Amino acid sequence: MERWRLQPGDVLLVTDIQNDFLPGGSLAVAGGDEVVPVLNRYIDAFVAQGLPVYATRDWHPQGHCSFHEQGGPWPEHCVAGSPGAAFAATLALPPGATVISKATSRDREAYSSFQGTDLDDRLRAAGIRRLFIGGLATDYCVLNSVRDARRLGYEVFLLTDAIRAVEVQPGDGLRAEAEMAGLGARGISLGDLAA
């Protein structure tokens, strides 16, 4: 089994660990809460090495185009400033974590953490080359973020033990993982990180 050592130029990207995507939320991902303690261990590993942690969030205006009421595919979720848009209380983000808000325009959907944000500029300014990504949901925001990260030239590690899928269609999560692997993202789990 290949072991990966964290190094300067690495970043942890924690994707959309928000109340509305967890059990009881308006757009709950099955098992979404199970990734939180795993992500906390990744956060600990990055903080221990002095490496940056970024957290993305859906931060929708009222009446966002993705909502059912506007003809979109999803129930209302993650409205900016609402309890549902807040990060999970059990997510142990470090004080210095960088928060990236996405899908903030009423008339534009943005599944990718790069779309309509300054994430790429921030990562390049920080000398980031390798992106370790986990969170919710495998088949939407994680997939689209990995697509963009690979297109932009980042090396990508997919945290396979810290993702869960929406599964609008059965198998969507596995198909998304296969596509990400095809794009060159390496699937790893906590046990693959060298101490």
By the 10 Å C-beta count (0-12 exposed, 13-18 middle, 19+ buried), 77 is classed as: buried
Residue 128 zone, left/alpha/beta (φ > 0; ψ -120 to 50; rest): beta
Residue 4 C-beta-side C-alpha neighbours within 13 Å: 23
**What's the sign of the alpha-carbon dihedral 94, 95, 100, 103?**
positive
- Return the amino acid letter for 158: L
Whether 121 is catalytic is: no
Q: Which of the following is catalytic: 10, 33, 78, 102?
A: 102
Based on the residue annotation, tell me whether 16 is a catalytic residue of this protein. Answer: yes
Residues 134 and 180: their CA atoms lie apart, in Å, by 12
Catalytic residue among 10, 16, 20, 139: 16
CA distances in angstroms from 38 to 3, 80, 91, 101, listed in the order given: 18, 26, 10, 22
78 has catalytic annotation: no
**Choice among 33, 139, 141, 148 that is catalytic:** 141
Residue with tokens 């997939």: 143
- The residues annotated as belonging to the active site are 16, 102, 141
